[in-house]
Amino acid sequence: MAEKVSIEKKVLSKNDQIAAEIRAGLEKQGIVTLNLVSSPGSGKTSLLERTLGALNDKLKMALIAGDVQTVNDARRLTRAGGKIVRPLVTGGACHLDAQMVKKVLEKINLAGTDVLLIENVGNLVCPSSYDLGEDLKVVLISTTEGDDKPLKYPAMFRRSSAMILNKIDLLGMSNFNPEQVKKNALSINPHLTIFETSCTKGTGLDAWYNWLLELVKAKKAGKS
């Protein structure tokens, strides 16, 4: 057991070193970087499609679409108007790591980019441990899941800066309690910014867009 722990620490230490290098490079370019995490099917890709549709004329966005086996999400984001979209297929790994992201970034011209959006693999466990060089983690949870998810996966919610409660158009179709999930999440991380959205109906997305715009504004102000 001690050897296993030692190896895991070494892996994460190396990952953190690479992530710090990525962060420094992105910071130098004034790029806001978000790592989107969730269970499978919570709506990360749908959110990004909507974000592209709403902000493509206001922000220059680059996207990395992580997936275990396919490039389906990257294709969807390109069809949605993404000008810089790169797939990152893990080949079975249940999370992205900093080395994977670094290899993709080496092949992208980020000149003039305002925002880098990284869509992580659908998983609420392993991605919580891997820094990708992002400014913030954003965790999505949908109303088709259990409202106890924050209690089951506290590390992810503790390390995230924002939570998006998605698919609110489906409230009432199950016993999911939105107030309870928010209470559970805030008991883990009282500093979470919470959005309630429906990517199908467009409900609540303006607040998300404005938050993203404010992040970019603050980043640019910090560099001026």
CATH of residue 66's domain is 3.40.50.300
Task: Please report the pLDDT score of residue 12 as a whole number.
Answer: 82
Q: How far is CA 122 from the centre of its chain?
A: 10
Task: Please report the pLDDT score of residue 194 as a whole number.
Answer: 98
Task: Please report the pLDDT score of residue 125 as a whole number.
Answer: 96
Buried-state track 168-180, b at ≥16 Cβ within 10 A, e below 16: beeeeeeebeeee
Residue 137 lies in domain:
2-223
Task: Please report the pLDDT score of residue 195 as a whole number.
Answer: 98
Domain count, the chain: 1
Q: Which residues of the chain have pLDDT under 50?
A: 1-2, 4
Task: Please report the pLDDT score of residue 2 as a whole number.
Answer: 47
* pLDDT tens sequence across 85-127: 999 999 999 999 999 999 999 999 999 999 999 999 999 999 9
Task: Please report the pLDDT score of residue 114 as a whole number.
Answer: 98
Nearest alpha-carbon partner for 215 in 138, 150, 124:
138
The burial class, CB within 10 Å (0-12 / 13-18 / 19+), for 25 is middle
